[in-house]
Each structure stands twice: as C-alpha cells, then as structure tokens.
Structure 1
C-alpha cells in the first residue's frame, strides 16, 4: 500500500519541479534535524507500519508553501495506524476563551515552529512510524526512513502537543509566571496570543515566552503586536515579514483563523452574501459549513 501510494506521490511531484524540489529538501531537513533517520539493511525487517505521504500546497503561506502530510488514516487490510492509536482527551483551550483574553491594550502573538516534530516518541514506537522515499526515481528501490519524533498526521498529535506545552508551563510557572499563564490559557495548538496593559509588560511577556518555549525545546517566531515599541525589542528575523517597523506598518494577519488588523487592534470578518438568484438547495448546508465561527455562536 505504501509503495503504491509513493508512486502516486511521485507522479504529482514530477508535474511540478518546484514542489518536488521543496518536498525533497524538507525530507533532507528532517534528516539534518534528526526528526527522522535512515534505516540500514540490517534493520529493514524491523518495520511494523509504513506511512504513505503526499504534498499539501499552500500558496497563501509566506513560508513552508509545501507541507508533507503523512497519512496515518490510510488503511491496509481494513486497518489504519490511527485505528490502533487512542487519540486521548481534548486539552485545547476554547477559541472563545482565548479571544476574550485578547482584549487589553498591548497584544502579542507568536507561532511555535514545528511544535509537533520537536516532540520525541519512545524508541520502541519508531517501527510504527516508517515511510518509503526516493526522489522521483521509480527504477530504484526506495529507502526506508523512521520517525524519531511525532508525525504530522497521527490522531493523538493535538493531545501530545498540548500535554508537552502544559507540562513545561506548570514546571516553570515560578520562573516564568506570565508566560506560563499564556501557555496554559492563551495558547491554541501552535499559536500563543495574549494581551497586557502596558508596553513594558508586553516586552516582559515576550522575553518570558521565548525562554519558556526554548526550555521545552521549541522555538517561538512570527511575532506580531499592535505596539511598534514592543516589536522593536524582537529580532527582525523573528517578526512576521508583513511588518515594517521603519514605516510603522502593522499589516493585517490571520490569528487563530480570524483576520486581525494590528494597527487598529480589531478583528475583521469577511462575508460573501449569496447572489439574488441563490437557490436554497441541499448544497446550502455545505456552504454554511465552510464558514469559520470561532465564537461558536
């Protein structure tokens, strides 16, 4: 099954060399960062499950336009890896609760890069997280790779990420009290967003969050704020590229799926009303489901 799907993925990559090169480069980076390791011939029989993978292209993203998704829901003989993994309880904060905390004068937002890939898994679980890869050379036997870290596509991924984040926040609460509260109450998946009353507290929160995430083996970047003074304390390369401090430009960016206009500190919701001749058929429910309503109302 995995070999057949590798062939399908290769056909897609061959149609777009830019996507194919990006795909191959991502796997090379996984090797360099030790997220994965190449299996030698003596270990090849150790594999217990092989994950098919495919590219997901996001042209709207300024970084990582091509993402590799490993399909843990792919079935072989009627069973998938996700069928055998308990996804666990929901630990994510409610979006409404996070957005309500985003109400004070100085806002600060950051992303945690590769939060899932930075979480280790027990060595004995590695054989269940193997995959095949060769860069568009169907005549060659594919190499076998094994994940040492959490795979993007496993159903328990949200639980593991939040558990790691919450554990580090509780452990370091005394040292980084402001950051610990943000991680526990104002973080959703890989996005931390919070607000404070003063610019001084905003700088303090930035420094604490950076240090806390670093202690967890994570890296916080793509910082955004409605305060130019606060952003001036953050390295330029860690600020979202849409921000230009020289021109005091604070552009609109998406935060938890909602467009946030940082300059005016407001949320923007875009609606596309139906045409006058719109027919209320069975497709109406499908169109409604496409709308994102973070407040749940």
Structure 2
C-alpha cells in the first residue's frame, strides 16, 4: 500500500484513505465533516407533508424537521472512528479543528475526546448572514387553530458555527513538544484588529456589545468560484487564520473532508503543505480547479496580500 505524500488531493473514502497516511505526519487537521441531517422528524408524516405542500419533497423541509435523534448517536460513533485514524496521523501535540453545528457539537466533541484527544476549546464563528429557519405551521399541517397564530417551528436564525478545538496529547511538556515536533502551541505573534490577542469568538462584523476582535465575512462568489456548487464553503480568511494560529510555515495540513478545496487553498496561500480527501467526484474536481487557480495566482504574485494581520 503506497503512502500518501503532501500536496495531494485524493478522491476516495476518508476512513480508507487515512490508512495510507503515515503515523505522526500531519501538523494540523482542519475539517468540516458531514453531519447527515437528512431525516424527517418522527412527528411529521412524509406523505401528508408532500400532499399539503403540493409536491414539495422531504429534502426541502427545514433542517429541524428532518432530524432523527438517533442520527446524533450514529454520527458520534462514526466520527469517533474517524478521529481515531486522525489521532494516529497527527504529530504529538498537533491540533484537530472540527467545524460543527450548534445542535451536534456536543456529539462531535465527545467523539473526538473518546478517541484520545484533549478538548482545548470551542471556537465560535459569528456571522450576520444567517437565514431565518422557522416555518409557519400551516405549511405542514392541516390543523386550523387560532392559537397557532404567530407560532412557528422551533428554529431561530442561525448566526454562528462552533469549531471543536482538540489536541493530541503532547510528548512531555508543551514547550519541549513544540521544540521537537513543531506543534502544540498557539501563535500569538500577530495581533488582530484593535491590537487584540486571539479570541475564541471569531466575528464577521462589528457589534455594539462586542469588541471588533475578528472580522470574517462568508465567502463571496469571486472566492467560491462560478463553478463551485458546494453548499457550505468556508471563508479563506477564517481558514488561513486558523492555520497560522496553530502551525508554522512548511507544516502539513490535512482535511479528510475537503469539499471544494478551501482548506487546501488556504494552506497553499499560507506556505503550508496540504493533504485533502474527498469522496464526491464533483467536489473533488472543483477542489482541483481551485487549487490549480491558486497556484497560478500565487506564481504571478509571489507576495500574496496577507489577511487579518
């Protein structure tokens, strides 16, 4: 079985492909895993919903109405197995950063911890562009009752994403581990806007009740690419910052759920190496195009403008 080398994107299953990565070879794992929120809640009759909405299919129901509670447990079991593979390939002291969703972050955190990692923190990425999720009940039930006026499904506008910050146990003291393995500490050399130290709240715009610590917008069309159909593209600015915070130049950044390639592009722009794994052929091809475009642009402008310094 041939080993996977850095600056590679692999089309394949994460669990199977991780077996080909050498022990203690990655400095950072940065990923946004799938959550499998795709089932209808048991309280809703799929056929009734389909009839009432005149052909609206189940997949178009709001997320809070297609979640089987058992899925959270299955997600935790599955992600623990993935995390065990990640534990092996990470260097001692290396960080494992997992994007999550508010109602599943506890499952991911427990899965990662049970795989042997330390949970160091939960970062919160706050953004203003969240969509309203609550739905009027008359869209999904034939019950007519004035008491339902102004009452909607139990979902509010989503304006944040949690990021589980985990660490593989270091060898000995943190300082000794950093000097021998090059990982395990946070980089505080660069202050953020307003001369603030890094924070576990990452914001997209100034808010009256919070200091302007970290300004990160969701990715625009120009950044995503006209050809990018991935639904959850993360901002390069956010990924670049997380990479700088946890690694040194030349480090290997692994993303076992690469999607459309943002982590690899961010690593490339920050002068790190990357390994990406993606099971979806369409997203794999998009990632390849984005990485090649980033390489070309970097070659033209070798002094790429730094972000969030």
TM-score (norm 1): 0.21
TM-score (norm 2): 0.21
